[in-house]
Amino acid sequence: MLRRTTPLLILLALCACDDNAAVKGKDADLLSVVDSDAVAPDEPLEAKDDNLPPDEVLIDVDDPAAVDTDTATDDENDTIGPADDEADLPDDDVDVASNEPCTIQFGLPNEKTGLTAEQCRPLCNCEGKYFQPPLYTEEEIAKLLAMVPVDPPAEVTEDPYDTPEAHQPVPGSVCGLFLDDTITNGYRLETFASDTAAIAAGAYITHWDGCGVCSTLVNLVVYMRNPDLTDPVRQCGIDNMFNKNGNIECLQGLGFELPCAQIWYYNTQHTQSKCFSTCMAAVNDPYHNPDGTLNDCLLCDEVNSGPVFKAVAGRNRRNTGLPSSMCRPCAEVQPVFHYYW
């Protein structure tokens, strides 16, 4: 049915992986579905000081002297990490975290989001939770890119959506990062059953949920640099219609490592198969409805494709502490800082 006309072929190819909706894209003119942040919603988690390793400098929401609304700069004093014993504490002239209900979502809205800056912002300050991600500098990003995984993830050679029961996220798990001096600038990733277990082992928590093929720091940088990947991912589909290898290579051109590009590809294909008619009907809709909920196309993607993507990819924006053009309830956002030196 999809091969009857050229327009339908084009639209079919335009299910784009972004928010990263994986779970974790929605263009007004073209199908853009899959985004790494459009995975099934995480269970609400309260911000707590043990989401980073021992001795990590972390905002204490109960201490007025420890809350800072300023984003990080390239000043070395803004570095946050277990090894930074001399890092300056935040200023003491900032309000304590609010205990008011969360009514503003977390994200970085653009013209496609459908929400205003009053409805969505890159800051959570409600229900006793305060988190504002830093603006990572190019110098800091260069440090992340210079780090080398000791045990990089294997390729995704089979479609995980063929066996969804074998690929489901484990609630409460986290991905821990250890520095590893067996190679220059080395690090390794390990999944822990809980944040408490990761901290006890001396690991940095690089994201919540288990480690996966997108958990490496190269893929983290792609998310840092691109709050909305809808257009470039969509273009990969247009340029490589019915060309799996070409599509994956195009995704790699956006910066993703091969295994991460592969799960994005499979996610897109699965969403096309499950949500085509729904997404056709919502093709001109903004990412969000006026009440802040996802549009029908993105919700279909989240429900049908999100859990498997989350289990295989590991990292998405909201479990990594990064805002995107798809806004998320603060209860689903994890406060994570990416300073591993």
Cβ atoms of residues 174 and 158 within 8 Å: no
Q: What is the pLDDT of residue 95?
A: 57
C-alpha span between 191 and 240 (Å, rounded): 35
Cβ atoms of residues 129 and 60 within 8 Å: no
Three-state SS at 77: helix
Closest residue by Cα to residue 268 from 5, 9, 20, 6: 20
Residue 224: φ, ψ to 5°? -60, -40
Cβ atoms of residues 211 and 218 within 8 Å: no
Please give the chain's pLDDT, 341 residues, in tens: 333 333 333 333 444 444 444 333 333 333 434 454 544 444 433 434 444 443 333 333 333 333 343 333 333 333 333 434 333 333 433 458 999 999 999 999 999 999 999 999 999 999 999 999 999 999 999 999 999 999 999 999 999 999 999 999 999 999 999 999 999 999 999 999 999 999 999 999 999 999 999 999 999 999 999 999 877 877 787 788 789 999 999 999 999 999 999 999 999 889 989 998 998 899 889 999 999 999 999 999 999 999 999 999 999 999 999 999 999 999 999 999 999 99
Residue 63: φ, ψ to 5°? -115, 110
What secondary structure letter does DSSP report for 44?
P
**Which residues have a Cβ under 8 Å from the Cβ of 33 and sit 6 or more positions away?**
15, 16, 17, 21, 25, 26, 268, 271, 272, 275, 279, 297, 298, 300, 301
Q: Residue 284 carries which side chain, given as an amino acid letter?
A: N
